């Protein structure tokens, strides 16, 4: 039988609220910490090759959910499986299948794109010569000139850095790609280029994508299905078309923004962090 690319069942993640963390990580010393439910009872299935968008305002739990899939956080309740492998018990197997791009391009700032990518490639067990060739190909595809790729990354623009982040994620040929606000803070042109590359990945490599965003147009145009997330919960999960149709007949020609507003009673303020 074939497993879905990603499956989650009843997943919850709680954090202790700011200021109520115990001084020492010893349970018997801890004051009763106040809990924040960052992810609350989330279940879904993501079939292979699909792009699933998670649309939600800041603080709704999108990144926490992505980190749970990425084995960087341990769920408090429920389970998550990547191609049938449990993210907690079989973390090593899961790590080989995934990679992630976060809104912040997390690199060794003084190292060049090539040096950063080389480090990533070796971590994934790639042989030096193969890695160098693949890095060259990907950087070329993303339109990063060879001399730019040898400069310290801190000297590249935000959009350029984000492309290198995508190159890093793609370099290791993940079957499940986790994109956490990959276009936040990018100028419209870079945004388009990144979106086109994501489409290409899916078309050519059948990569499954979990993508978070607070950009409605992006969710609408890029994703096969969209989950609307608010206060740690999925309040809806469907194709963009059906989500919009759900407001009919009272609201014909609704946008995802309208759907979000109707479901949560909140505005989805598309704040872009100043880059």
Partner 1 sequence: MIALPAKAVRMHARAAYAFVERNFNLVRRYWGWELVWLVYSIANALAITYIGAGMQHISGAVVDTNYLVLYLLVGSLVWGYLDIVFHSISETIAWERWEGTIEYTFMAPVSRLTHLVGQTLFSLVYGLLFTSVVFGVVALFFRLDIQGANLLGALAVGAAGSLSFIGFGIVAAVLPLLFPEKGSQMTHVVEAVLLLVSGVYYPVSVLPSWMQRVAAISPATYALEGIRLAILAQSTWGALFPYMLRLVVMGFVTIPLGVWVFGLAERYAKRTGRLKRSG
Ligand X SMILES: Nc1ncnc2c1ncn2[C@@H]1O[C@H](COP(=O)(O)OP(=O)(O)O)[C@@H](O)[C@H]1O
Q: Does 17 bind partner 1 (CB under 8 A)?
A: no
Long-range CB contacts for residues 143-147, cutoff 8 Å, separation at least 24: 143/193, 144/113
Interface stretch with Mg ion, choices 63-71, 116-124, 169-177, 188-196 (CB under 5 A): 63-71
Pick from 60, 99, 162, 264: which binds partner 1 (CB under 8 A)? Answer: 99
Which residues are CB-contacts of 178 (< 8 A; sequence separation ≥ 6)? 66, 69, 70, 98, 99, 100, 101, 209, 210
Does position 62 interact with ligand X (CB under 6 A)? The reply is: yes
Quick one: which of 5, 64, 160, 228 contacts ligand X (CB under 6 A)? 64
Binding ligand X (rule: CB under 6 A), the pick from 6, 46, 60, 174 is: 60
Q: Could you tell which of ligand X, partner 1, Mg ion, none binds residue 115, using a CB distance below 5 to 8 A set by kind?
A: partner 1
* H helix intervals, the chain: 62-69, 91-97, 113-123, 128-141, 158-171, 188-205, 216-222, 240-245, 256-264
C-alpha neighbours within 13 Å on the C-beta side of residue 149:
22
CB 56, CB 25: distance < 8 Å: no
Nearer residue to partner 1 within complex by CB, 53 or 174: 174
Per CB under 5 A, which region of 58-66, 119-127, 153-161, 261-269 contacts Mg ion? 58-66
Give the whole-angstrom CA distance, residue 242 versus residue 149: 43
Residue 257 interacting entry, from partner 1, ligand X, Mg ion, none, C-beta within 5 to 8 Å by type: none
Q: Note whether 63 binds Mg ion by CB under 5 A.
A: yes
Asked whether position 61 contacts ligand X by CB under 6 A, the answer is: yes
Helix (H) or strand (E) holding 71: none
Distances (CA, A) of 35 to 71, 72, 118, 190: 21, 19, 40, 38
Cα–Cα distance measured from residue 168 to residue 111, given in angstroms and rounded to the nearest whole number:
14
Residues counted in the chain: 275
Structure tokens given for 211: 């993508």
How far apart CA 140 and CA 136 sit, in angstroms, is 6
Closer residue to partner 1 (CB): 120 or 138: 120
In the complex, least distance from residue 215 CB atom to ligand X, rounded to whole angstroms: 13
User: By CB under 6 A, how many residues form the interface with ligand X?
Assistant: 11
- Alpha carbons 174 and 134: distance in angstroms, whole number: 14
56 binds, among Mg ion, partner 1, ligand X, none (CB under 5 to 8 A by kind): ligand X
29 contacts partner 1 (rule: CB under 8 A): no
Q: Which of the choices Mg ion, partner 1, ligand X, none does residue 242 contact, using the CB cut-off of 5 to 8 A by kind?
A: none
- Nearest residue (CB) to ligand X, 60 versus 116: 60
Note the residues at the interface with ligand X (CB under 6 A): 15, 36, 38, 56, 58-64
Note the residues at the interface with Mg ion (CB under 5 A): 63
């Amino acid at each position: 039988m074939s497993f879905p690319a990603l499956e989650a069942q009843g997943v919850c993640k709680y954090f202790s609220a700011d200021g109520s963390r115990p001084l020492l990580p010893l349970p018997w010393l801890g004051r009763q910490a106040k809990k924040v439910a960052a992810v609350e009872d989330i279940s879904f299935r993501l079939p292979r090759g699909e792009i699933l968008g998670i649309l939600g305002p800041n603080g709704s739990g999108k990144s926490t959910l992505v980190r749970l899939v990425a084995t960087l956080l341990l769920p408090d309740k429920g389970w998550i499986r990547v191609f049938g492998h449990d993210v907690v018990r079989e973390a090593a197997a899961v790590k080989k299948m995934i990679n992630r791009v976060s809104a912040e391009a997390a690199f060794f700032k003084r190292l060049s794109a090539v040096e950063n990518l080389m480090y990533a490639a070796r971590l994934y067990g790639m042989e030096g010569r193969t890695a160098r060739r693949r890095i060259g190909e990907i950087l070329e595809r993303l339109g990063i000139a060879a001399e730019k790729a040898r400069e310290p990354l801190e000297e590249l623009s935000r959009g350029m850095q984000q492309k290198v982040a995508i190159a890093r994620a793609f370099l290791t040929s993940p079957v499940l790609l986790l994109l956490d606000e990959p276009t936040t803070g990018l100028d419209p042109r870079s945004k388009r280029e990144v979106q086109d590359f994501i489409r290409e990945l899916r078309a050519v490599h059948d990569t499954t994508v979990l993508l978070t965003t607070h950009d409605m147009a992006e969710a609408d145009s890029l994703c096969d299905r969209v989950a609307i997330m608010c206060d740690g919960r999925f309040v809806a999960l469907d194709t963009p078309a059906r989500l919009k149709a759900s407001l009919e007949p009272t609201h014909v020609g609704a946008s995802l923004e309208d759907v979000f507003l109707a479901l949560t009673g909140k505005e989805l303020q598309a704040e872009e962090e100043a880059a």
